[in-house]
Amino acid sequence: MPGRGGGSHLWPDRRRDLSSVVFGSIARVTALDPFRVDVPDDVLTDLAERLRRARLPNAIPGIGWEQGLPAEVLQEIIRYWLDSYDWRVHEARLNRYEQFTTTVEGQRFHFLHIRSRHASAVPLFLTHGWPGSVVEFLDVLDALSDPADPADAFHLVVPSLPGYGFSGPTTQAGWNPRRIAAAFGEIADRLGYQRYGVQGGDWGAIVSYNMAELRPERVLGLHVNLMNVPPPSGEAAAPPTAWARRMGRAGGGYDLIQGTRPQTIGYLLDDSPAGLAAWIIEKFYEWTDRSGGSLVLTEDQMLTNVMVYWVTRTGASSARLYWERRQAPETMVPRRRVLVPTGVANYPGELVRSLRPHAERFFNIVHWSELSRGGHFPAMEVPDLFVEDVRAFFRPLR
């Protein structure tokens, strides 16, 4: 890969034939490409120039959040981005971990692969959603892979969804949750993992559902922090969450736009860093647990997620997953009851939730926890609670 001075970026700077490498007891038959994040300086220079030239719309005085992210909030975010935020710090943090890319059905896939030093470790997929990225899990990787008790150790596979971040933009239609789940199963094969757990929230939960349904003999446990399934005909769904009561119909505006016009909104997302930040950071403000009275995420956490979309130009392609869902709605819930042991972590600030009896129609629920704090991004908001719930669910399944 060319250095930071210019040229194409975010592609592996070296290629290595790993066909003879053995993970566990099974030799790999498909080469993976070692990967490091290395954003060219000219990309960062261009970003700063665009931020300085940002032309923001006027705002009605005193309107607050009624029409979306307030202008003064975005202005402060831009100031911090220009004056205090250092991408190279976070790039180096990502590069602490081994990363690879591989190709499945013509689509590039990126993932972090953290091998625990403990021989008893269990492989575990951690899958993000929108508007997150692999950055969501940075605060839990060490705790999950290198715990004090070796009996809690995991080998971690943390993929970027196709069309998101370092997996690059999608170049063909059809990447719905079930197809993504099948591709992740192929990655497990390439890593030599015969039995593994899956965990996810948001889109990561839907993909994980599908992984468990497609390969029940391979998935030892399914853990999600978002459970959203339809109730039986004639029965009421779970009561609205605090977020749903607060937001009402306005809360689904992003879904309608991305589900019907991802290309149109993509012109904004991939051309204007201020627009991209507003579109994404609004969700970090609205979808986190604010019961403590203040935002629990830092500017660096939010901006690093935004940066992953910006430097890879994947604002538009990430939105396409919402369109894909509308083309294949059957991929959102299992076609048949999933017998894989399933755990659900319910965080009080989550967007939606299902009643346990409704979830049990679709899944073999063996773990149902009610957490005291946290919202839609628990690995970022409450990493301590996230880690403990994942450990507690998988302990009896090892």
**Residue 216, domain member (yes or no):** yes
Among the ranges given (158-172, 210-224, 241-255), the one the predictor scored with the smallest mean pLDDT: 241-255
Helices (H) and strands (E) in the chain, counts: 15, 11
Give the Cα separation of 269 and 310 in Å (integer).
8
Question: Which pLDDT value is given to residue 293?
Answer: 77
Instruction: Say which of 193, 309, 322, 347 is annotated catalytic.
Output: 322
Question: Which pLDDT value is given to residue 30?
Answer: 60
Helix (H, G, I), strand (E, B) or coil at 357: helix
Give the Cα separation of 37 and 93 in Å (integer).
10
Question: Which pLDDT value is given to residue 376?
Answer: 98
What pTM was estimated for this model as a whole? 0.92
As a whole number, the mean pLDDT across the chain is 92
Average pLDDT over every residue of 191-207? 98
Average pLDDT over every residue of 190-197? 98
- In contact, 197 and 220? CB cutoff 8 Å: yes
**Residue 30, domain member (yes or no):** no
- pLDDT per position as a tens digit, 141-189: 999 999 999 999 999 999 999 999 999 999 999 999 999 999 999 999 9
Give the Cα separation of 311 and 280 in Å (integer).
15
**Residue 339, domain member (yes or no):** yes
Give the Cα separation of 354 and 243 in Å (integer).
14
Instruction: Say which of 33, 202, 289, 389 is annotated catalytic.
Output: 202
Among candidate residues 177, 221, 184, 166, the one with its CA nearest the CA of residue 199:
221
Task: Say yes or no to pLDDT of 19 above 60.
Answer: no
Torsion on CA atoms 304, 306, 308, 312, rounded to nearest 10? -150
Tell me how many domains the chain contains. 1
Task: Say yes or no to pLDDT of 278 above 60.
Answer: yes
Structure tokens given for 393: 């669910």
Task: Say yes or no to pLDDT of 130 above 70.
Answer: yes
Active site residue 322: yes
**Residue 349, domain member (yes or no):** yes
**Residue 211, domain member (yes or no):** yes
- In contact, 369 and 344? CB cutoff 8 Å: yes
- In contact, 391 and 147? CB cutoff 8 Å: yes
**Residue 43, domain member (yes or no):** no
Altogether, the residues listed in the chain come to a count of: 398
- pLDDT per position as a tens digit, 58-106: 999 999 999 999 999 999 999 999 999 999 999 999 999 999 999 999 9
Instruction: Say which of 110, 152, 376, 389 is annotated catalytic.
Output: 376
**Residue 228, domain member (yes or no):** yes
* CATH number, position 185: 3.40.50.1820
Higher pLDDT, 293 or 333: 333
The one-letter amino acid at 166:
F
- pLDDT per position as a tens digit, 282-291: 999 999 998 8
Torsion on CA atoms 358, 363, 365, 369, rounded to nearest 10? -60
* Host domain of residue 198: 70-397
Residue 249: band (very low, low, confident or very high) from pLDDT cuts 50, 70, 90: confident
**Residue 300, domain member (yes or no):** yes
Question: Which pLDDT value is given to residue 396?
Answer: 97
- With a pLDDT cut of 90, the percent of the chain lying above it is 89
Task: Say yes or no to pLDDT of 292 above 90.
Answer: no
- pLDDT per position as a tens digit, 337-371: 999 999 999 999 999 999 999 999 999 999 999 99
